[in-house]
């Protein structure tokens, strides 16, 4: 009889109380462990003692990078958020990408990739024409077509082209500029400026001063029109022995030109017309 009573299950309220007690003890143990770990991570032995900078550092010395980024770092060797540390280094001018790694017991290793400027950039307001002068702050475009901000005085290459177009069009414009530039080399000239209007119309300005309206269309259509122009324009300028001022390639069956010193308007006789 007593053995049967001993095997009877505990009442539900007792089982619930035991379960709650176990959970409370487990939570208390976890809290104590968390506090212990947090205290351990704050110990001076785990403080960052050195930051090793490697990779591309031609724009910023390792010392200046540490001076600009390290004060933004928070935490110890164990507690530091590496994503936040990467953001701190990428906030330094000319730094495009950073990889931050822990090196036991108290160092950080930072590998850097710098921006390589490929063009200047101006964001054209929405709806502005290709020849609109309304622009915002001049920035830079790197070799990946990404817009970034840096001191323009640090750019050694004074022959960088200027791209001016809608926001987020920089990569597309840099790619088309490179293709147009290849064709322009046949004219012994270069593209100084490439404009894209909010309505998708392209315009280029050559280093020798000519303005060329390329019109709208796919990249292939624009390149084809320009290729035909490049193939024939030198014959025309040689025939008239003068320079090109501007060209409009937006005509379906040819293009319109303005040549220096050449006009289709009859020149009135000197002294004016004679009266009858």
Instruction: Classify domain 117-259 by CATH architecture.
Output: 3-Layer(aba) Sandwich (3.40)
**Cis omega (within 30 of 0) on the bond before 221?**
no
The predicted structure's pLDDT at residue 150: 92
The predicted structure's pLDDT at residue 48: 86
The predicted structure's pLDDT at residue 275: 38
Give buried/exposed letters for 234-271 (b at 16+ CB in 10 A, else e). Answer: eeebeeeeeebeebbbeeeeebebebeeeeeeeeeeee
- In order along its 276 residues, the chain shows pLDDT tens digits of 455 555 667 677 676 677 777 777 677 666 656 665 555 555 555 688 889 999 998 888 888 888 899 899 988 888 899 999 999 999 999 999 999 999 988 899 999 999 999 999 999 776 556 556 555 789 999 999 999 999 999 998 879 999 999 999 999 999 999 999 999 999 999 999 999 999 999 999 999 999 999 999 999 999 999 999 999 999 999 999 999 999 999 998 889 999 998 876 666 555 544 433
Count of C-beta atoms within a 10 Å radius of residue 119: 23
The predicted structure's pLDDT at residue 9: 73
The domains of the chain are located at 13-41, 44-114, 117-259
The predicted structure's pLDDT at residue 35: 62
Query: Which superfamily does CATH assign the domain made up of 44-114 to?
Result: membrane protein fhac (3.10.20.310)
H helices, E strands: number in the chain: 6, 12
């Amino acid at each position: 009889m007593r053995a049967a009573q001993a095997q009877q299950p505990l009442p539900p309220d007792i089982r619930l109380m035991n379960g709650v007690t176990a959970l409370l003890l487990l939570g208390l143990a976890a809290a104590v462990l968390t506090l212990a770990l947090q205290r351990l991570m704050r110990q001076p032995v785990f403080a960052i003692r050195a930051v090793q900078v490697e990779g591309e550092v031609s724009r910023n010395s390792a010392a200046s990078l540490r001076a600009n980024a390290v004060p933004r770092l928070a935490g110890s060797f164990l507690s530091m958020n590496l994503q936040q540390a990467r953001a701190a280094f990428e906030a330094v001018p000319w730094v495009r990408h950073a990889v931050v790694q822990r090196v036991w017991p108290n160092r950080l290793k930072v590998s850097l990739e710098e921006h390589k400027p490929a063009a200047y950039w101006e964001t054209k307001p929405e709806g502005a024409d290709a020849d609109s002068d309304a622009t915002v702050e001049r920035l830079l475009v790197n070799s990946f077509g990404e817009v970034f901000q840096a001191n323009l005085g640090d750019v050694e290459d004074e022959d960088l082209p200027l791209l001016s177009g809608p926001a987020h069009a920089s990569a597309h414009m840099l790619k088309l500029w490179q293709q147009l530039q290849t064709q322009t080399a046949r004219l012994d000239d270069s593209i100084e400026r490439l404009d894209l209007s909010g309505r998708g119309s392209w315009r280029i300005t050559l280093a020798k001063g000519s303005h060329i309206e390329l019109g709208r269309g796919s990249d292939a259509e624009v390149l084809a029109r320009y290729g035909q122009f490049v193939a024939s324009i030198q014959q025309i300028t040689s025939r008239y022995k003068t320079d090109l001022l501007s060209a409009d390639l937006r005509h379906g069956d040819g293009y319109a030109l303005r040549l220096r010193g050449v006009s289709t308007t009859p020149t009135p006789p000197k002294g004016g017309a004679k009266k009858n």
